[in-house]
Amino acid sequence: MVAHADTRVVHRGGSKINFRAPVITQDSRFLICVSGECIKVFSTSTEECIHHLQGHKELVTGLVLNPSNHLQVFSCSEDGTIRLWDFTDGILIRVTLLRILSMHVSAKGDVFLVMPVKRNKKEKFGLVSLNLPPSVEQHVMVKGHTIVFQSVSTDPKCIAFGQGGEYVASVKDNVLHVYFLNKKTFYRFALGTSGEMAARNAFTCVACHPKDDCIATGHGDGKIRLWRNFNQEKEYTFSTVHWHHSGVNALCFTPEGTNLLSGGLESVLVQWRYGQEGQKDFLPRLGSSIKEIVVSPDGSLFCTSHTDNKITVIKNCTKVSAVIQGLVHGDGVKTALMVDPRTKALVLNGKPGHLQFYSLQRDQQLYNLDIVQQEYINQSNLDQFEVVKAALDSRGSWLATVEQRSAKEVEISLKLWAFDEHTQSFVLNTTISAPHDGPISEICFSPSSQNSTTLVSVSLDGHFKAWQLTQPDPSDDEEASWSCDFVGDYHSLEPKCCCFSADGSLLAVSFKEVVTVWSPASWDLLTTLSQPPGAIQDLCFGRLSCSKYLLGATDKNLCCWNLLTCSLEWSTALDVSLLLADPLSENVAAFCGAEKTTDLFVFRPSEPRPHFSQQALCTGRVTRAVFAPRDEPLDGCEESSQWLNRSQLYFLTHNMELLTFLTKPEEERLMALSKQVPTIDDSVAMTPFYLLLGKHRKRVPCNDEADDSRLWGESWNFGVPNLAPGNHVMSSCVSSMCLLRDEEQPTEVEMESEKEEEDSEEEGASVPPRPEHESSDTGAKLGPVLTKAEHRELRGVKKLDYSWIRGLVTSNPVVNTTKQMVKTPKQRVKTPKPMAKTPKPMVKTPKPMVKTTKPMVETTNP
């Protein structure tokens, strides 16, 4: 096997943003949260991701504001470093080398870390106090540290600092420890530790009152205890309040200490009045169970992080003002990974009973589709309806989902959703309750491009059924709905998987060891293929020139049949866990489970040698993967990465990490872009629109407002923002912005003659375009003259970071136009107008714009 140095497996989106509690900045404008190996800064008002703070090599495990400088944030990571970031600029300040699991900072600015402490050859976790040396260097090595607690829980919720950092409280299992840092005294309070009581009384979280000597602890049975007088071993007191029916997951005092917030599995945020605990307010139905609660330093914003990888920002205790949603992992992905042909979004099951549409380009959830349409009951040990299968047809106009609830009897229903152009979302068309007697193992749409698509569902009850859209009688005023067209079986064997050929003329259904090939037109059994031993686990047809091949994976073998001769072409011993055909090329990817790792082979069914192979791709079996078509094919010509030219391969590991392959040129380009760090304006969040318009306005203060607002309007008119493909909006913005930049450039040159320019502008605003005194050839070149390479770069760039926009802004690519512009200062104001009117054609090619400007010049010329 060849090692491929130029193709690398990278994490691509979908990291957990709820792993640790987020941090709200002093002014409540930003929300900082961990996201895998990097840190993300979001705006609390627009939900927009403003920065990616990259630098850690491993999982980021802690995030704390620097008490001495509220514009800085500490982060710690499993790679053993603490980094201090200036989050407004996104600049890395300092690195300290240690091994860390989580971190805390007391109000006095001392840094405490949870890190493994070796004691009696047993690895335990200890709380360690650390004095950061007052150094100005970028890189600092810290050696001296003192252990405060020998044994603490790794969960940062279990440690809290109270009353200006006077004491630290730590809970573990059934014991609460309090350590007074000044007096260096240590108290231990234990709750009933025997039998059933132990499990119920176990501490889950702790919070300290900021002004008062009071510690609040949450317990496994839903009780909250408020401890007082804990500076004495004997005469301590506690009071108990109880609302949560299951464990309290998070506790938090508001900054003034007037309220205590608690949350748990019920997904209800409970607000207790401190001092009068009988009074409480509720904020119910926050989506899923609450993991963390954070209050902004001024107390105006609450922020809850949830188990479904979501952060909710709550304003004024009552209103959800923003929701930052990452890729929902849940307990596992039950549906196959799919790519929505319309939005190019990844489709998979998300929240319980929902299907999520996740934009890979923007690393952001586009929207959730409620499949089950039932009130979700937050209760453990309850059989919930779950979306287990989903399929999209080739044009994205139909979506089929299967929901299942396995209580005493399996309840299944098959739903078919039609895409509604008007509302830009899927609308329920048909619900088929109990489509099969047993669980459905696979569903797939026929790829035929005509209006009539067929859905095939394969079930463990021994049948496969074909469903078709039936047009109702024209006399009835009912809508078209789906109904069963054919029920097939084969020797009452259990079918496992099904697959349509690329043109939809053949359907292959596997029954144990046998593959049956059916004609969907007549529902005749055409042929049967089998290669015992071993039941078929996966099936797929070859594409394009290899469409005569049918690939089948059994437990131990990968077989390839030639459908023209109905004979076995080749077979090889491989333990294939997933077979996947690229819809845009002949390539087939096979994920093979080795010992504990997964190998990947990419090959063409017609060629014996694999194009690409990588061993030990990741640990665990890969069972979900998808080929996402690229917007623009890469022109990489290296043989080993050619298979990535047309589409990109995404796959999910067993611990739900979304990984993809990145080729070297792609990676270099992304790296180059991410190096340019943008500065942030104090008033406005850094968004593409800001970059486009804010700068524009600042540079040209006399530019009339109407022009601006129209541009805004045009930009927003693209449609529902969460559904318009992000890259389209982006590239249109970018190209229009580049145009503006091109024409703005001369203003700096002409600053001396500002008065004159103002005059001309007023004229421009009041009268229609005056005849210009240029030759038509200069006018023709006025439009954007982006080279092809630049344009491709613009579009190819994924929106990982907005910093690249700035990169483009600062570098002025077109020199010759600038020169011409110097000659013709009056056109500066006018030219944006036609462009602002037609932002859409600009997205596609820059040429039409040249055309639109051309006639204007021509008419004025005589």
Interface contacts to another protein, rule CB under 8 A: 283-287, 319-320, 370, 373-377, 379, 381-385, 405, 407-409, 433, 475-476
CA atoms of 324 and 17, how far apart (whole Å): 9
Distances (CA, A) of 727 to 317, 751, 794: 36, 35, 10
Q: How many CB atoms lie within 10 A of CB 189?
A: 19
Q: Edge-to-edge strands of the sheet including 567-573?
A: 536-541, 549-554, 557-562, 567-573
**Minimum CB–partner distance for residue 487 and another protein (Å):** 15
How many CA atoms within 13 Å lie on the side-chain side of 722? 14
d(CA 596, CA 731): 42
DSSP 8-class letter at 552: E
Nearest to 734 by CA among 813, 649, 620, 824: 813
Beta bridge partners of 560: 551, 570
d(CA 181, CA 370): 51
Q: How far apart are CA 399 and CA 390, in angstroms?
A: 7
Residue nearer to another protein on the CB measure, 175 or 320: 320
How many alpha carbons lie under 13 Å from residue 467 in its C-beta half-sphere? 23
Length of the chain measured in residues: 862
What values do phi and psi take at 829, rounded to 5?
A: -75, -35
CB of 383 to another protein, least distance (A): 8
Residue type, 672: A
- What number of other Cβ atoms are within 10 A of residue 318's Cβ? 12
Q: How far is the CB of 311 from another protein (least distance, A)?
A: 15
**Please, which residues have CB within 8 angstroms of residue 455's CB and are 6 or more apart in sequence?**
391, 398, 400, 416, 443, 444, 445, 446, 466, 467, 468, 482
Instruction: Give the nearer residue to another protein in terms of CB position, either 19 or 376.
Output: 376
Whichever of 378 and 557 has its CB closer to another protein, that residue is 378
The number of angstroms, rounded, from the C-alpha of 86 to the middle of its chain's C-alpha atoms is: 24
CB-nearer residue toward another protein: 118 or 408: 408
Nearest approach in angstroms of CB 474 to another protein is 12
Helix (H) or strand (E) run with residue 573 in it:
strand 567-573
Q: How far is the CB of 328 from another protein (least distance, A)?
A: 15
Nearer to another protein, 136 or 377 (CB): 377
Of 377 and 751, CB closest to another protein? 377
Query: Is 283 or 498 the residue whose CB approaches another protein more closely?
Result: 283
Residue 124 vs 285, nearer CB to another protein: 285
Q: How far is the CB of 377 from another protein (least distance, A)?
A: 5
Query: Which is closer to another protein, CB of 409 or CB of 595?
Result: 409
Of 110, 127, 39, 123, the C-alpha closest to 77 is: 39
- Name every residue whose Cβ is closer than 8 Å to that of residue 514 and which is 6 or more positions away in sequence: 490, 493, 528, 529, 530, 536
Nearer to another protein (CB atom), residue 15 or residue 401: 401
Cβ proximity to another protein: between 268 and 649 the closer is 268
* Measured CA angle at 76 (ends 70, 77), to 5 deg: 150
DSSP H/E element including 835: helix 832-837
Distances (CA, A) of 126 to 104, 152, 229: 13, 6, 25
- φ/ψ of residue 556, rounded to 5: -120, -20
Q: In the complex, what is the shortest distance from the CB of residue 494 to another protein, in angstroms, rounded to a whole number? A: 19
Q: What angle do CA 713, 715, 721 make, to 5 degrees?
A: 105
Q: How far apart are CA 227 and CA 218, in angstroms?
A: 11
Q: Closest CB to another protein among 41 and 283?
A: 283
Which of residues 104 and 405 has its CB atom nearest to another protein in the complex? 405
Q: Please say which residue, 465 or 798, places its beta carbon nearer to another protein.
A: 465
Tell me the C-alpha distance between 856 and 783, whole Å: 12
Question: Which is closer to another protein, CB of 286 or CB of 652?
Answer: 286
Q: C-beta of 373: minimal distance to another protein in Å?
A: 6
Instruction: Decide: residue 408, CB within 10 A, 0-12 exposed, 13-18 middle, 19+ buried.
Output: exposed
Helix (H, G, I), strand (E, B) or coil at 562: strand
Instruction: Quote the least distance from Cβ 353 to another protein, whole Å.
Output: 10
State the nearest-atom distance from the C-beta of 268 to another protein, in Å: 10
Pairing between β-strand 567-573 and β-strand 454-459 as defined by DSSP bridges: unpaired
In the bound complex, what is the minimum distance in angstroms from residue 282's beta carbon to another protein? 10
Q: What does the DSSP 8-state code read for residue 497?
A: E
Distances (CA, A) of 193 to 45, 196, 225, 240, 335: 46, 8, 16, 18, 43
Phi, psi of 263 (to 5 degrees): -150, 160
Between β-strands 91-97 and 139-141, what pairing exists: parallel, antiparallel or unpaired? parallel
What whole-number distance in Å separates Cα of residue 149 and Cα of residue 129? Answer: 9
Residue 239 vs 423, nearer CB to another protein: 423
